[in-house]
Amino acid sequence: MSRVRGQPPGRAGLMWLHHRLGLAHRAASRLDQKLKILRTEQAAFALLLERSGLAWEQACRDAEAWLLRAALLGGQDGIRPPTGQPPAEVSITWTSALGTSYPSHGSCTTPEPDPGTANVSPAALVEASAAHREALQAAVAHAVATTASRAIDVEVTMTRQRLRGVQDRWVPRLESALAELRLSLDETELAEQVRLRWAADRERSGR
């Protein structure tokens, strides 16, 4: 007879297996519910990922167009940032849901350009700088969406594997052990009843 690790013998094993089986069914139910919620989130993040990718591509095209205009007006030297200008800073906000940690928001801070330090027209410089700031923000938003989408994808995969493990392995094993134990106890009880009946018959015959 197959036994589950930790299973006590006899009728105590019946209660033990019933309890473990109930836990397994509840775990499967919760994992199934979690998986449904995660799949909804997965679809939402996939849509966000697609939209943010398109927005980033468009922002890059706009930034390249304005950069070309600025370069044509002032040359390559005119579009170079001043010496010592601080770099852009990116800040990411993280959140956790359903046991998954992922970025929920990203923002970037860029130094304000000084048109007086450049050789190009202020209007072209301002527009080019603004377009590149928008492209950077779009890149950050797309990076956030990409990382979040990947995190949700991983959690969906892991949750689906756990659910299959409970439904396809743990529950059937407990049910099999329970059925075998019941059969074994029934056979033992039947054998004991037969033995007692034979003993009673021999006792009556001896009288």
Structure confidence by residue, pLDDT tens digits, 134-191: 999 999 999 999 999 999 999 999 999 999 999 999 999 999 999 988 888 877 777 7
For residue 28, the one-letter residue type is A
Whether 138 maps to a domain, the answer reads yes
Whether 38 maps to a domain, the answer reads yes
Residue range 44-72: average pLDDT? 93
Phi, psi torsion values for 103, nearest 5 degrees: -70, 140
Whether 159 maps to a domain, the answer reads yes
What pLDDT, in 10s, does the model give residues 87-96? Answer: 889 999 999 9
What pLDDT, in 10s, does the model give residues 127-143? Answer: 888 899 999 999 999 99
Whether 197 maps to a domain, the answer reads no
* The total number of structural domains that make up the chain: 1
Contact 92, 32 (CB under 8 A): no
Model's pTM, two decimal places? 0.76
User: Which residue range forms the structural domain that includes residue 42?
Assistant: 15-79+89-110+118-179
What pLDDT, in 10s, does the model give residues 63-81? Answer: 999 888 888 876 666 666 6
Name residue 43's beta-bridge partners. Answer: none
